[in-house]
Chain A
Amino acid sequence: MTTFIGISLQAVLLTLLPPLLLGIINKTKAGFVGRRGPPVLQVYYDLLRLVKKNVVISSTTTWVFLAAPLVSVASVVLAGLMVPLGPTAAPIHFKGDLIMFAYLLALGRFFTTLAALDTGSSFEGMGAARELTFACFSEPALFLALLVLVKLSGALSLSAMLLPASHVRIGSTASAALVLIAVSLFVVLLAETSRIPVDDPNTHLELTMIHEVMVLDNSGPLLGAQIYASSVKLLILAAFLLHVVLPLKPALVGRDWGLMLVGLVAVAGIIGAVESLMARLQMRFVPTLLVAACLFSGFGFLLIL
């Protein structure tokens, strides 16, 4: 019964919660500059409005352009079903799902970048090139972090390896390794969800953007699908990160669900704070930042070898 409730709770959270995180980020950013900011639920209103709108598409594009936003949503939701959002196992868990998780995100990237190039616009090509290039450095960081978790838990499934990660005793070598991979995962999260200092989701200059410029020609439901997909990605990577840092105890299910929810809000707040306090890096320094993330998880892995 508890498992059933856990699974349904996760499915509901995975589908309904993501836009809220974007709302919290925007609220935090507004707070930092002394504005009241849009309501926390604004992203939901935006999505609803976008779904009702008409689609404008470019005459250059093919079916890939229409398919890409939907493939992004499908792949990221399927990947999200493998990450435990709370203290209970994820709805889908099997031996090897960690590879499936990483490659489902890659499937979304494949279609999004292809659709960006489909428009024939150089701006969108630029965004696609950056997305693909930076992924070459964030993937190794993610896999190094996975190595640490596999080594600590002895399991090959995200649910089985993330849940015990939170039982590591504070002060042990393993906890030091977890701190290192948490830093690395936070950088990966910022890069994968196109946040400052890697990308600026609010800029209006096409030359300097990554994710926003790739979806420049999307409109209506297609744009809504892209925004929703990137918010789901934010949620699952944040949950991944929280499992590494939060001290969850399997006995206290109710407390842990609360802790996770507070943690998700906190991660969104921290992202908002980072966005308010930092400037975006120059594009040529982004690979350096991501290599630093690889090094953090690499050293973390060395610690526990």
Chain B
Amino acid sequence: MNLLILIMTAIGLICSGVPGLFYHRRSATGQHVAMAINVVASAVGMAAVLFHDIPRVAAEGWHPVCSLPIGKLALSLDDMSAWFLLPIFFISALGSVYGLGYWPQRKHPVDGRKLRLFWGLMSGAMVLVVLAANSVWFLIAWEIMALSGYFLLTTEDGRPEVRQSGWVYFIATHLATLCLIVFFVMLRIYSGSFHLWPRALVGLPVGVLTALFLLGLIGFGFKAGLVPLHVWLPAGHANAPSHVSALFSGVMLNMGIYGIMRLVVMTGNPPLWWGVVLISVGMLSAFSAITWAMAQRDFKRLLAYSSIENIGIITTGLGLAVLGLSVDQPIWVALGLGGALLHTLNHSLFKPLLFMGAGGMIHSAKTRDMESLGGLAARMPAVFCVMLLGSAAIAALPPLNGFVSEMLIYLGFFQTLHGSAAATWAAWVVPALALVGAVALMTFVKLTATCFVGQPRSAAAAGAHDPAATMLWPMILLAAACVLVGAFPVLLVGLLDHAIAAWVPSHRSIPLVSIINFWWLTALALPLMICAAGIAWWIHRCRRSVPETIIGTWDCGYAAPSGRMQYTGSSLMQTMAVIFRRILWRHEQPPEVHGIFPRPADYACNTPDPLLDRVAEPVLKKVGQILESARILQSGSAQLYMVYILLILLILLMTR
């Protein structure tokens, strides 16, 4: 029953942008209709997931009468899918409300309707991806999602940098789909059916299993943005409208994680080295991405890199769960997978929050360069509060939600010290996670400090103001969700335990509640929140009675300090940039100083994506040059192309 409701909501989401197409390009009615459909469909969908008893473990299937040559339209719902459905509905609805203020049809008559059409299409397609129980339908939904993603990223296709980043995304998503097509074809050959997701493939040769794992990991890894497959992500997220970045970062990356999670349990008992690969890739992504994030000046690129970091942490947790399955340590599985799933959800809360806040800044100050901002806290107090909260949550500070999931992953890795001797090396992940956490804290202090506190560094920043209520309320709701999950994790642990039980093939999972007493987190969150309230009251009283003297900042006697002289984000991470210069691999042009009376000199430094800039682009250019000779086949005449098709069909028939 609830599967049927979910299918209806998916259809509702897909169609939500269609009525708007029939309205005039300057009419605001279309966007309100789209928003209303989206919010209602999402609310119904969330209710169906939360308040309906999902069949535990056993999947609920739905096979309608219509059956196509490629297989039945089979959809199914289990607790794992349910977990991934929640953020899709939540972020899609909040984003469409946010869009009313951020991308109003009145101001964007050309691309507003397009954006909302593909917004609905992509949200609905993601629901179908998570529900698909047949690989052909999975691929169809996957491609609808990927292609509508392309049109969303290139909303402002008039700008060259948008087209450029859209093009990189297009190539990346096609490479991903290519790998997935091969993956699903192999799966069909060796499992004998299109049915998803197989959970007990036995008797396959090791080579085939390895190929399946690697193909799936690459295909889904492109979408999740694992290093080194992340090259499309930073520029894509930075150049898209902010609520689109929120949907991408908060929800679409999860689809890659979803695929990897389903993939690793297809044999029932994954080999140990799969876990090793996942942990290595995860830590590589987390560490390199947070280092790159630290060095960014464009705050949306910074957030995009931080998404890669979080995906890395999620993958590391998943890797621990895979290790746990292969050496039969259910406690590792519970903590690793529990941490990974909870972190997926948490990332879907705080990252859209941060992207929406970034949108508010762009909306108001018209720049993405954080070093021309500053002092926004006094001008956009509401956005400052939610951004501060989002930054603290993503830096995993208690009592917010990021802390809960990172704690589970930490504890999981501490557990590897006991139990099985096969994986004692895994404990070395703990100091690496600590390093990543410390750099993440630095990155987010840099983000909030450079944008919000101090004095404005430009006139645009000085004239900034809080955005409209339609943009603020989605952020406030997300911030409240971050606090709620952080202070009352018990609310979600039940759902989480069901999702873990649905994932573990042998049905021998340990519930998280029996490992950790989550009430302690609540017990500690409450005094912290009482302290916060007390501090707020004290500040309020101070401000009212004004016992303090207000003067300028101590400037060491310098007569005319200006906003431009403040410590910038770049100076804040200067030492780290020197220490990690081999990872950052930045372009630097030091000033040339000659003679006793040197002329004025310039210093320039920028941090493009090292892999895209130094590896992917040169290699692809070379490949392009080699393939130039194949152009001879492409004459432009339709008749010749028909001949090719005829020949290929003949060859295929002959080799049958």
Provide the residues of chain B in CB contact with A109, threshold 8 Å. Answer: 441
CB closest chain-B residue, reference A140: B431
Q: Say whether B527 faces chain A, with CB atoms less than 8 Å apart.
A: yes
- In the complex, identify which listed stretch (A96-104, A163-171, A235-243) lies at the interface while the others stay far away: A96-104
> A154 contacts the other chain (Cβ, under 8 Å)?
yes
State the Cβ distance, A11 to closest chain B Cβ, in Å: 13
Return chain B residues, CB-CB under 8 Å to A126. 567
CB contacts (< 8 Å) of A123 on chain B: these are: 556
- Mark A103-118 against chain B: 1 for CB-CB distance below 8 A, else 0: 1101101100110011
B650 in the interface, Cβ–Cβ < 8 Å? no
Q: B550 and A140: CB pair below 8 A?
A: no
- Residue B445 is within 8 A (CB to CB) of chain A in the complex: yes
Contact yes or no, B573 A129, CB < 8 A: yes
**With A96-B516, A118-B449, A128-B445 as contacts: A103 and B398 at CB distance below 8 Å:** yes
Query: A128 contacts which of B434, B532, B567 (Cβ < 8 Å)?
Result: B567
Rounded to whole Å, the gap between the CB of B278 and the closest CB of chain A is 21
CA distance A139 to B432 in the complex (A): 10
Complex CA gap A216/B431 in Å reads 32
Instruction: Write out the residue numbers on chain B whose beta carbons fall within 8 Å of the beta carbon of A97.
Output: 520
Q: Is the CB of A62 within 8 A of B407?
A: no
**Mask of B538-581 contacts with A, CB within 8 angstroms, 1/0:** 11001000011111111110000101011100011111100100
Q: Which residues of B contact A203 (CB under 8 A)?
A: none
Query: Across the interface, do B524 and A114 meet the contact criterion of CB distance under 8 Å?
Result: no
Select one of B424, B453, B517, B550 contacting A95, CB under 8 A. B517
Which residues of A, 32-89, contact B by the 8 Å Cβ criterion?
54-64, 66-67, 70-71, 74-75, 78
* With known contacts A114-B449, A125-B566, A129-B573, A59–B435 Cβ distance under 8 A: no
Contact A110 to B441, CB < 8 A, known contacts A139-B434, A147-B430: yes
Contact of A136 with B442 in the complex, beta carbons under 8 Å = yes
Tell me, in angstroms, the Cα distance from A118 to B374 when the chains sit together. 10
Contact: A132 with B542, CB < 8 Å?
no
- Closest A residue to B376 using CB positions: A62
Per the bound structure, the CA–CA distance linking A40 and B566 in Å amounts to: 39
Pairwise interchain contact B572-A128, C-beta atoms closer than 8 A: yes
* Of the residues B396, B449, B520, B553, contact of A113 by C-beta under 8 Å: B449
CB within 8 Å for A66 and B542 given contacts A156-B414, A206-B556: yes
B395 within 8 A of A: yes
The reply to whether B538 and A70 contact each other, CB–CB distance below 8 Å, is: yes
**Interface presence of A217 (CB below 8 A):** yes
Which residue from A121, A142, A146, A301 sits with its C-beta under 8 Å from B554? A121
Q: Is B445 within 8 A of A110, CB to CB?
A: yes
Number of interface residues of B (CB under 8 A): 80
A60 to B574 Cα, complex, angstroms: 24
How far in angstroms is the closest Cβ of chain B from A60? 5
Give the residues in chain A near B418, CB-CB below 8 Å: 154
Q: Is B417 an interface residue (CB 8 A)?
A: yes
Selected from A95, A283, A305, the residue in CB contact (under 8 A) with B516 is A95
Q: State whether B455 touches A133 (Cβ < 8 A).
A: no
Decide: B398 and A59 in contact? CB cutoff 8 A: no
By a CB distance below 8 angstroms, the chain A residues around B384 are: 62
Is B626 part of the contact surface with A, judged by Cβ < 8 Å?
no
Query: Which residues between 372 and 395 of chain B lie within 8 Å of chain A, taking CB atoms?
Result: 374-375, 377-378, 384, 388, 392, 395
Listed residue (B384, B527, B531) with the most chain A CB atoms within 10 angstroms of its CB: B531
* Nearest CB in chain A: distance from B493 CB, A: 14
Interface: A201 (CB within 8 A): no
Cα distance, A143 to B555, chains bound together (Å) = 38
A250 at the interface (CB under 8 A from B): no
B453-A99 in contact (CB<8A) = no
Verify B517–A94 contact, CB threshold 8 A. Answer: yes
Contacts of B411 in A (CB 8 A): 95-96, 99, 156
Specify which chain B residues have a CB less than 8 angstroms from the CB of A151 in the assembled complex.
417, 427
Mark interface residues in B159-203 (1 if CB within 8 Å of A CB, else 0). Answer: 000000000000000000000000000000000000000000000
Q: A107-B398, A119-B553 are in contact. Are A114 and B571 (CB under 8 A)?
A: no
Chain B residues with CB under 8 A of A154: 418
Q: B69-88: which residues lie under 8 A (CB-CB) from chain A? A: none
Report the bound CA distance from A46 to B556 in whole Å.
24
Which residues of chain B have C-beta atoms less than 8 A from A125's C-beta? 566-567, 571-572
B460 interface residue (CB < 8 Å to A): no
B233 smallest CB distance to A (angstroms): 24
The residues of B that contact A122 with a CB separation of less than 8 Å are 565-567
How many residues of A are counted as interface, with CB atoms below 8 angstroms from the partner's CB atoms?
Answer: 75
Is the C-beta of A258 less than 8 angstroms from some C-beta in chain B? Answer: no
Q: How far is the CA of A70 from the CA of B542 in the complex (A)?
A: 14
Per-position 1/0 for B415-448, Cβ under 8 A of A: 1011000001001001111110111011011001
State whether the Cβ of B410 lies closer than 8 Å to any Cβ in chain A: yes
Cβ A106 vs Cβ B395 within 8 A: yes
Establish whether residues A147 and B431, one from each chain, have CB atoms under 8 Å apart when the complex forms. yes
- Is B434 a contact of A56 with CB atoms below 8 Å? no
Q: Shortest CB–CB separation between residue B419 and chain A, in angstroms?
A: 11
Question: B468 within 8 Å of A by Cβ?
Answer: no
Tell me the nearest residue of chain B to A92, going by C-beta: B524
User: Within the complex, what minimum Cβ distance (angstroms) separates B557 from chain A?
Assistant: 12
Q: In the complex, what residues of A have CB within 8 A of residue B410's CB?
A: 99
In the complex the two chains form, what is the Cα distance from A70 to B417 in whole Å? 37
Q: Which residues of A contact B398 (CB under 8 A)?
A: 100, 103-104, 107
Chain A residues with CB under 8 A of B647: none
B396 to chain A minimum Cβ distance, whole angstroms, is 6
Which of these, A57, A102, A287, contacts B434 with CB under 8 Å?
A102
Q: Does A150 contact B (CB under 8 A)?
A: yes
Bound-state CA distance A56–B556 (Å) is 16
Docked pose: A151 CA to B430 CA in angstroms: 13
Interface assignment of B454: CB less than 8 Å from any CB of chain A: yes
**Complex formed: what's the CA distance from A67 to B575 in Å?**
28
Question: In the complex the two chains form, is B453's CB within 8 Å of A114's CB?
Answer: yes
The answer to whether B4 has its CB under 8 Å from any CB of chain A is no
Structural contact, A78 and B396, CB atoms closer than 8 A: no
Partner of B431, one of A61, A78, A119, A143: A143
- How many angstroms between the C-alpha atoms of A232 and B398 in the bound complex? 19
Is B535 engaged at the interface, CB distance under 8 Å to the other chain? yes
Say whether A139 contacts B437, CB under 8 Å.
Answer: yes
Q: Are B435 and A62 in contact (CB under 8 A)?
A: no
Identity of the chain B residue whose Cβ is nearest the Cβ of A143 in the assembled complex: B434
A120 within 8 A of B: yes
Closest to B398 in A: A103
C-alpha spacing A272/B391, complex, angstroms = 37
Q: In the docked arrangement, what's the CA distance between A213 and B438, Å? A: 21
Q: Restricting to B260-304, which residues have a CB under 8 Å from any CB of A?
A: none
**Pairwise interchain contact B432-A140, C-beta atoms closer than 8 A:** yes
Q: Complex: how many Å from CA A99 to CA B572?
A: 26
A118/B437 in contact, CB under 8 A: no
Taking a contact as CB atoms closer than 8 A, the residue among B414, B535, B555, B566 that contacts A67 in the complex is: B535
CB distance from B351 to the nearest CB of A (A): 18
Further pairs besides A56-B551, A78-B524, A135-B441: 20, Cβ < 8 Å: A57-B548, A60-B553, A94-B520, A99-B407, A100-B521, A103-B403, A110-B392, A110-B441, A114-B388, A114-B449, A122-B565, A122-B567, A125-B566, A132-B438, A133-B575, A136-B442, A140-B438, A144-B431, A156-B411, A298-B431
Chain B residues within CB distance 8 Å of chain A: 374-375, 377-378, 384, 388, 392, 395-398, 403, 406-407, 410-411, 414-415, 417-418, 424, 427, 430-435, 437-439, 441-442, 444-445, 448-450, 452-455, 515-517, 520-521, 524, 527-528, 531-532, 534-536, 538-539, 542, 547-556, 561, 563, 565-567, 571-576, 579
Binding site for B on A (CB under 8 A): 54-64, 66-67, 70-71, 74-75, 78, 92, 94-97, 99-100, 102-104, 106-107, 109-110, 113-114, 117-126, 128-130, 132-133, 135-137, 139-144, 146-147, 150-151, 154, 156, 206, 216-217, 220, 283-284, 287, 294, 298, 301, 305
Leading 9 A-B pairs by shortest Cβ distance: A125-B567, A120-B454, A55-B548, A117-B449, A140-B431, A143-B434, A118-B453, A58-B553, A74-B531
